[in-house]
Amino acid sequence: MYATDFAQVGANIQERLQLKGMSQQELANALSISKQVMNKIIKGYKAINVNELARIASILGVTTDSLLLMSDDVNSANDRDLSFMGKISDIETRQKVDLIRSAIDEIHLLEELVNG
């Protein structure tokens, strides 16, 4: 199930920051925004658009879907997205699928920039 508010998206971003060992300041720098604006995004006080979400996902090395899911679903996002294929248990296959997802996210970002 997808998040219904920006606070959930912000919580997902914060969780991914922690998993990556990255600070809010580092993400803010990568996005060329202030730490205060980044903090507002994390707390759900600032709405973000699709382009911003795609940039954040790219920087964090995750899919935009993983940032949009309800918190209980974040860890199982990859498995549910591929439920028609069954569960992926092989690490090498998981890495290949994640690489493909990252490439697709980057293509979406490039399309947005070109069509912007």
pLDDT of 50-65, one tens digit each? 899 999 999 999 999 8
DSSP 96: H
Confidence (pTM): 0.61
Q: What is the sign of the dihedral through the CA atoms of 25, 26, 28 and 29?
A: positive
pLDDT above 90 (res 79): no
